[in-house]
Amino acid sequence: MGGPFREKFPWGELRALLDPKAASEKRRRGLWVYAGFLFLLQGAGLLLLAPFLPRAWHPLLLALAFLGAGWLFLQALMALREGGPLGALVAVGLGAGLFFFLGVMGLLLRPWGLGLLPLGVMGFLHLVRRSEGALKGPSGAPGPGP
């Protein structure tokens, strides 16, 4: 059997993500692999749900969409404060949840509510970038996040 992280892509990157001694670049790639998988999974779920969700425009649903998205975003930021690779993973997972939640709410509030979908994508990407910074640490070396 080979040395550590000799597995083929993406398993080596995903294992490196949890190893604080792994190279920073490999950990960063692992985070992006994890984020990409979650994004594709959530996007496929939204595509499968789209034909079945009825239009249900109501101003309170729009308020619920913003409140729920804000709550998920704050939870992700709090997870990043915990530091370490698990905090970054939780933040990316909550970012994917933010994308999915705003996507479902956008489908319910069609046609104008579909504007929530790009907002969910931007929130997700912002949390992935913040998680990437949390893996590197404030000095650029591996360590706890913001």
Q: What is the mean pLDDT of the chain?
A: 87
What is the spatial distance between Cα 81 and Cα 7, in angstroms, rounded to a whole number? 31
In degrees and rounded to multiples of 5, residue 130 shows phi and psi of -65, -35
pTM for the predicted model, two decimal places: 0.84
At 43 the pLDDT is 95
Residues 3-62 pLDDT 10s:
554 567 778 788 888 888 888 888 999 999 999 999 999 999 999 999 999 998 888 999
DSSP characters for 6-46? -SPTTHHHHHHHH-TTS-HHHHHHHHHHHHHHHHHHHHHHH
DSSP characters for 64-76? HHHHHHHHHHHHH
Q: What angle do CA 128, 104, 111 make, to 5 degrees?
A: 115
